[in-house]
């Protein structure tokens, strides 16, 4: 015979560490009230619930509309480590959505996040840099990070952060420096990136070379890359065993060799042979960057003379269309006669 017995265990779908979510349109307003509670456990449970809800962009929109960002900004200064960690986690999840990134810019969340750059908790800093990386994916977001004055701090942290966080920093800097590299160049970003090019970590080497592409676009960046002897390292990376590193190194050289000093620095380190080898790379980005870099070298008489015997190789470059057009330009430069 069955007996009526109350179990001592919680129902299987109940999370005791997470706040119970109100029904329907009342859910987020209730959580926002709990975020402002003086009770520590209530704040922690509300943040745990928000971490689940913020994966839905509709919930992100509503959360911003009812003022959750202001509550979260206040919690970034909370004395409890778990509160700060979960707050930054909520924010980085929100930043994966376009509506969240735009909300960050409208509500000055970037400035609030910047106070945690030196937080003692690694998880907190990692969430912070994940959020910045996502914000920087928008041109307006990258401009917002530049305008907030964060670039010198990010450059400085590049030498002192955990390796995993360094990768996130490089992602953010690569996007922001495409907008404006002035502050980064004034903060000594080139010597820092030069050191990262020598990293044993494949991902760090690749991202450092990609960031150097953005650095080398302005004239001051080109000059600093040459002055700090970065070009020989980039030429060496053309023979790296990682294709993405090769492609990004060729891209950085492509910009650095626009100046006469850059061209001859590359010629002195015998950049032509490894660049010619990249023309047969399976990575279309590597073929494109190598073709454009060789075009830069062909503008020097010594480079043009050497490449004349390799014109048939450029004629074989057909796919994709961007590579074919770049190859046609390269042939015109190589075959040019004064």
pLDDT at 255: 96
Q: Which two tokens stand for residue 277?
A: 């080898």
pLDDT at 12: 56
Give the residue from 223, 227, 228, 253 showing the smallest Cα distance to 240: 253
Distance CA 198, CA 211 (A): 14
**In this structure, what are the phi and psi dihedrals at residue 140, rounded to the nearest 5 degrees?**
-70, -30
H-run or E-run covering 249: helix 243-256
pLDDT at 23: 40
pLDDT at 318: 85
Asked whether 261 and 226 are in contact (CB, 8 A), the reply is yes
Q: Is the full-model pTM beyond 0.85?
A: yes
pLDDT at 159: 87
**In this structure, what are the phi and psi dihedrals at residue 216, rounded to the nearest 5 degrees?**
-85, 0
Distance CA 316, CA 324 (A): 9
Sign of the alpha-carbon torsion through 83, 84, 89, 91: positive
Query: Mean pLDDT, 10 residues at a time, over the chain (338 residues)?
Result: 60 53 68 93 92 93 94 95 96 96 95 94 96 95 95 93 94 96 95 95 96 96 96 96 96 96 96 95 95 96 93 91 95 89
pLDDT at 80: 95
pLDDT at 20: 53
pLDDT at 278: 96
The structure tokens 């590049």 sit at 158
The structure tokens 């307006």 sit at 140
CA dihedral of residues 323, 324, 326, 331 (deg, nearest 10): 140
Asked whether 240 and 209 are in contact (CB, 8 A), the reply is no
Q: Measured between alpha carbons, how far is residue 141 from residues 121, 144, 169, 212 in Å?
A: 25, 5, 15, 20
Q: Measured between alpha carbons, how far is residue 93 from residues 19, 53, 132, 252 in Å?
A: 18, 10, 11, 32
């Amino acid at each position: 015979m069955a007996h009526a017995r109350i179990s001592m265990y919680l129902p299987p779908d109940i999370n005791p560490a997470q706040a119970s979510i109100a029904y329907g349109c009342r859910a987020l307003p209730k959580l926002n009230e709990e975020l402002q509670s003086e009770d520590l456990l209530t704040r922690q449970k509300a943040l745990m619930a928000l971490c689940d809800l913020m994966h839905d962009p509709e919930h992100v929109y509503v959360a911003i509309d009812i003022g959750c960002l202001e509550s979260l900004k206040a919690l970034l200064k909370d004395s409890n480590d778990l509160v700060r960690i979960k707050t930054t986690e909520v924010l980085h999840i929100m930043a994966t959505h376009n509506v969240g990134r735009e909300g960050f810019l409208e509500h000055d969340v970037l400035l609030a996040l910047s106070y945690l750059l030196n937080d003692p908790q690694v998880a907190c800093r990692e969430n912070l840099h994940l959020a910045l990386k996502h914000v920087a994916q928008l041109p307006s977001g990258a401009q917002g990070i530049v305008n907030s004055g964060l670039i010198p701090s990010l450059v400085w942290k590049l030498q002192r952060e955990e390796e995993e966080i360094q990768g996130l920093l490089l992602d953010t800097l690569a996007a922001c420096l495409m907008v404006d590299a002035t502050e980064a160049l004034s903060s000594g970003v080139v010597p820092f990136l030069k050191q990262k090019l020598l990293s044993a970590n494949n991902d760090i080497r690749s991202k450092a070379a990609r960031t150097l592409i953005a650095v080398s676009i302005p004239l001051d960046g080109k000059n600093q890359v040459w002055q700090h002897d970065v070009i020989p390292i980039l030429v060496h990376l053309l023979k790296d065993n990682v294709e993405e590193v090769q492609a990004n190194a060729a891209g950085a050289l492509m910009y650095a060799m626009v100046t006469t000093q850059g061209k001859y620095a590359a010629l002195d380190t015998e950049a032509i042979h490894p660049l010619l080898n990249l023309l047969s790379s399976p990575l279309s980005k590597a073929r494109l960057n190598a073709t454009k870099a060789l075009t830069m070298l062909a503008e020097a008489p010594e480079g043009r003379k050497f490449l004349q015997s390799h014109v048939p190789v450029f004629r074989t470059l057909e796919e994709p269309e961007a590579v074919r057009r770049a190859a046609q330009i390269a042939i015109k430069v190589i075959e040019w006669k004064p």
